[in-house]
Structure 1
Amino acid sequence: MMRLDDNDDDVSLFDAEEDTGRGKSKKTKIKHPVASFFHLFFRMSAILVYLLCELLSSSFIACMVTIILFLSADFWTVKNITGRLMVGLRWWNQVDDDGKSHWVFESRKGNSKQLVSDSESRIFWLGLVVCPIIWVFFIFSTLFSFKIKWLAVVIMGVVLQGANLYGYVRCKVGSRTNLKNMATNYFGRQFLKQRNYKEERRLLRSEHMFALF
């Protein structure tokens, strides 16, 4: 497995716990239906309880505790189980002998990607990206509707689900340096495209003016 931390060392992620023979199954098949279910169950349940809390219960405390329990269960499940099974990624924190904290981002090596199902990958990333966006929307709706008592709950939703999103994006694309390089390359390509487009427009105008004469 590939470990992406401050030292960029290589480390085993699964410790040979997965049988490589499973890679022979179809990539479109959902090989971990239970993990796929719970990947969406806890986070969607938290959102539904938040939306329907006034219909489900008149107690704010009961709804708040229920949402926090769902968010906590979702954070632990996605961080420790579904990411490892569904897409072969894992992030975690460790403290070395000197007491220094290190964030570690791990992913399967390229020759093991055949173990990842395309269907599971789509389910994983869809749930991972969409739900934090919904909680960000809830922050604005809470402020605009003056439901300040819910602000702490929706912020917790953004923090817990956003942490998993950030961790798995780091696992997927690499270290922080790689993230910066990707951003730099993207904006560089956009700049070159815009420049080439303007140059082509200028040449076309020149040819048009030359044709008139």
Structure 2
Amino acid sequence: MRQSSQNAPLFGEDDKTIPPKPDFRHPLVSFLHLFFRTSAIFVYLLYDYVSDHFIACMVTIILLLSCDFWTVKNVSGRLMVGLRWWNRVDEDGTSHWLFEARKSDSLNLTSSAESKIFWLGLIIFPILWAIFVFSIIFTLQIKWLAVGIMGLALQGANLYGYVRCKMRGKSSLDLSHVAKNYLGAQLLKQATKAT
């Protein structure tokens, strides 16, 4: 039997499947996550070839590192991996550091590709700045020491903050579970010793 062309579905109408999730939900954020830190390293490495003005290069590197710190702390951490850390000051002046992770039961708003980019960028670049600081010390280029320490401090602070967020988000439930099991085992042990 011949099928009539009027009853046949049009091209693409029979594919009512859900479109796959994109690998990069926040491509601009992913780009900026790596752009500022990579630019700071390129300016640092290519200083001799680009400019003879040390102060201009130092200010440019510190501005790029500051933009990177702000972008990673306030934008890419929240959007790419669902983590944030911040400081709250109470009315009496006491300071509280808060490390937060998005609830696991909420919608999965992060992609694995963005998460890998986030963590690789967050780990690799502080290691590079640590290598630069050691090379500055060993080559006795003391004028660059402030820049190297600033790069290590700003990127190390973000690394420390996000590692704390990740550990707090995962381990708060796990640690309480372990503590309850340990406490239960100790109570059982005490009860069996008494009898």
Same fold (TM over 0.5): yes
* Equivalent position of 2:164 in the other structure: 170
Q: Which amino acid aligns with 1:143?
A: I
- State TM-score, norm by structure 2: 0.75
Calculate percent identity across the aligned residue pairs.
Answer: 64
Q: Any gaps of 5 or more consecutive residues in structure 1?
A: 1-23, 182-213
Q: CA deviation at 1:132?
A: 0.3
- When residues 143 and 27 of structure 1 are mapped into structure 2, their CA distance, relative to the original with a 3 A threshold, is farther
TM-superposed CA distance for 1:85, in Å, is 0.5
Runs of 4 or more, structure 1, over 2 Å off, are 24-28
Q: Are residues 1:29 and 2:23 paired? A: yes
TM-score (norm 1): 0.69
SS of the residue 1:102 aligns to: strand
Q: Report the equivalent of 2:144.
A: 150
Q: Equivalent of 1:84, from 73, 78, 86?
A: 78
The total of aligned residue pairs comes to 155
Contact 1:45-1:70 at 8 Å conserved across structures: yes
Deviation at 1:112, TM superposition (A): 2.5
Q: 1:61 maps to what in 2?
A: 55
2-side partners of 1:153 and 1:29: how far apart?
A: 35
Aligned-residue CA RMSD (Å): 1.8
C-alpha distance 155-25 of structure 1, shift in aligned 2 (>3 A) = farther
Asked which structure has the greater CA Rg, the reply is: 2
Looking at structure 1, the residues matched to 101 and 90 of structure 2 have their Cα atoms a distance apart, in angstroms, of 21
Distance 2:57 2:93 in 1: 39
Aligned to 2:103: 109
